[in-house]
Amino acid sequence: MSYEAKFRVWRGDDGSGELTDYTVEVNEGEVVLDIIHRLQATQAPDLAVRWNCKAGKCGSCSAEINGMPKLLCMTRMSTFDPDETVTVTPVRTFPVIRDLVTDVSYNYQKAREIPSFDPGDAGPGELRMQQVDVERSQEFRKCIECFLCQNVCHVIRDHEENKEQFAGPRFLMRIGELEMHPADQADRRNIAQDDHGLGFCNITKCCTEVCPEHIKITDNALIPMKERVVGRKYDPVVWLGSKLGIV
Ligand code: F3S
């Protein structure tokens, strides 16, 4: 069944912009990205949108649909009432380049700042892992880097001034992944707390709620990292051991 949907799309650049109304055809089985593509093909050829795989795996088409951070390609039109106006805006935490496309370079900067996997003296083929450790990090490796978690976290969403000190849930999860890796030799606890702002996270879990891969970012990465940091910082025995260099 086809119908005409009311769409409201943010149009503009880094200087100014406004919501623009469109009426556009919707067909059975379509997702919001299909409608944005139809808009480009029929009414707004200059409408800018970033996308690539259209299968929920590349993490490119992040946007806000009726105010909720979502992937355009994974949001079915059947989830809306046909009479409802569907509002599509760019993710709010990153600067707009044009229309629905934002500058997400903050995330690449944060990724570069995290010290990479440190195998110590182990040579190629010498590392052995228990299956339980493999599975733990595999959950984190499902991340498609859509940055919806980064977009929704209030620490930076409403506070530009925190971006310098806070890496955001995606990259604190990456630090957690490395910290929990049995073969990684680096101590990631101070890196998380002192260099990447783990203390800013007050466990609101918004990041977990919007993850399209359903990664339990808060429960499985951020809270365990906080527990490890607290153990090191405030347990007197651990603290003394760390001073003596034996923990
Ligand atoms: Fe932000 Fe997630 Fe913590 S949304 S405050 S990083 S639990």
**204-211: average pLDDT:** 98
- How many Å lie between the centroid of ligand 1 and the Cα of residue 206? 6
Answer whether residue 166 shows pLDDT above 80. yes
- How many Å lie between the centroid of ligand 1 and the Cα of residue 170? 10
Query: How does pLDDT run across 180-205, given as a tens digit for each residue?
Result: 998 899 999 999 999 999 999 999 99
Residues flanking ligand 1, CB < 6 Å: 153, 155, 169, 201-207, 218, 222
What is the structure's pLDDT at 236?
A: 67
Closest atom of ligand 1 relative to the 152 alpha carbon: 4
- How many Å lie between the centroid of ligand 1 and the Cα of residue 82? 34
What is the structure's pLDDT at 181?
A: 92
What is the structure's pLDDT at 233?
A: 64
SS in 3 state form for the chain?
CCEEEEEEEEEEECCCEEEEEEEEEECCCCEHHHHHHHHHHHCCCCCCCCCCCCCCCCCCCEEEECCEEEEHHHCEHHHCCCCCEEEEECCCCCCEEECCEECCHHHHHHHHHCCCCCCCCCCCCCCCCCHHHHHHHHHHHCCCCCCHHHHHCHHHHCCHHHCCCCCCHHHHHHHHHHHCCCCCCCCHHHHHHHHCCHHHCCCCCHHHHHCCCCCCHHHHHHHHHHHHHHHHHHCHHHHHHHHHCCC
Using most ligand atoms within 8 A of CB, pick from 157, 173, 205, 208 the residue to mutate for ligand 1.
Answer: 205
Radius of gyration of the chain (CA): 21
Answer whether residue 234 shows pLDDT above 70. no
Q: What is the ipTM of this complex?
A: 0.94
- How many Å lie between the centroid of ligand 1 and the Cα of residue 244? 34
Query: How does pLDDT run across 32-81, given as a tens digit for each residue?
Result: 999 999 999 999 999 999 999 999 999 999 999 999 999 999 999 999 99
- How many Å lie between the centroid of ligand 1 and the Cα of residue 202? 6
Residue, of 117 and 234, whose pLDDT is higher: 117
Query: How does pLDDT run across 101-157, given as a tens digit for each residue?
Result: 999 999 999 999 999 999 888 888 888 889 998 888 899 999 999 999 999 999 999
Using most ligand atoms within 8 A of CB, pick from 155, 210, 215, 225 the residue to mutate for ligand 1.
Answer: 155
The length of the chain is 247
Answer whether residue 1 shows pLDDT above 90. no
